[in-house]
Amino acid sequence: MLLQIEELLTAEQVAHARRLLERAPWVDGRVTAGHQSAQVKDNLQVPEGCPEHRELGGLILTALERNALFISSVLPLRVFPPLFNRYDPGMTFGAHVDNAIRQITGTPHRIRTDVSCTLFLSDPETYDGGELIVEDTYGEQRVKLPAGHAVIYPATSLHRVAPVTRGSRLASFFWIQSMVRDDGQRSLLFDLDMAINRLRDDLPAGHRSPTELTGVYHNLLRRWADA
């Protein structure tokens, strides 16, 4: 499932993020790439653990906790601390698949990367190129969103970032271990959750159908969840 999450960050939060990133140090983005990805990755990245990384990461994690669409679609168990990258003219990231397991730096903890997320922090009119291109069963999906908007997609997907030809593309990226590891099962639960919400709006208060379907939802979640 590929899904856009609008306004994960407010305009004020995006402006604050860009101010922090202007003063942040930047290093070669291959520091977090696996062997195969390192061969096709050409970008810059904010070092993990620096003050700007910690502050912005906390801001994004708080926003995720408050976003109902993110919670419903991803069913998060663990979220990898957000990372930040920059693509200047000529930079790109070739086709790759994200590592299945990632170690959280400085801790003994690992997460399984079920879902990938990219949060755009640059306004799309300020740079050319830089589309996130995700290959799925329906072909290539090209994603370039307004600043503050995010996209989630299965971490199993082959994806790439098109070369930037003008300006700079700033973004946050991270991974989520879901309570439900199978993307098809997560999609079914999300569709059911959305349908239940629409029924609640359409039916008179106290109608049994939303309650009964909510029971079905939770019984399926109980059957499929790893939590």
Domain ranges across the chain:
3-178, 183-224
Which CATH code is given to the segment(s) 3-178?
2.60.120.620
Short-list 83, 84, 121, CA closest to 104: 83
Secondary-structure breakdown of the chain: helix, strand, coil percentages, each rounded to the nearest 5: 35, 30, 35
- CATH 2.40.50 for domain 183-224, yes or no, is no
Residue 37 or residue 122, greater confidence: 122
Identify the band that residue 137 occupies on the pLDDT scale cut at 50, 70 and 90.
Answer: confident
Whole-number percent of the chain with pLDDT over 90: 87
**Averaged over 49-55, what is the pLDDT?**
96
How sure is the predictor about 39, in pLDDT bands with cuts at 50, 70 and 90? confident
- Residue 212 token pair: 């009964």
pLDDT tens readout for residues 158-190: 999 999 999 999 999 999 999 999 999 999 999
**How much of the chain exceeds pLDDT 70, in percent?**
98
Span 82-95, pLDDT tens digits: 999 999 999 999 99
Exposed/middle/buried for residue 21 (C-beta within 10 Å: 0-12, 13-18, 19+) = buried
Structure tokens at 151: 């996209």
Beta-carbon count within 10 A of 130 CB = 26
* 3-178 and 183-224 have identical folds: no
Per-residue confidence (pLDDT) for residue 227, from 0 to 100: 76
Residue 34 pLDDT greater than 70, yes or no: no
Each residue's pLDDT tens digit, 191-217 = 999 999 999 988 888 889 999 999 999
Coil, helix or strand at residue 25 = coil
Provide the 10 A C-beta neighbour count for residue 120: 24
The beta strands (E) that lie in the chain are given as 3-5, 27-28, 41-42, 44-45, 76-79, 83-87, 92-96, 101-103, 110-112, 115-120, 128-129, 132-136, 139-143, 150-154, 158-161, 164-166, 169-178
Amino acid at 75: L
The four Cα atoms 12, 15, 16, 20 give a dihedral, to 10 degrees, of 170
Question: How far, in Å, CA of 98 to CA of 33, rounded?
Answer: 9
Nearest-angstrom CA–CA distance, 84 and 22:
12
180 close to 224: Cβ distance less than 8 angstroms: yes
| Mean residue pLDDT across the chain | 95
Q: Is the pLDDT of residue 133 over 90?
A: yes
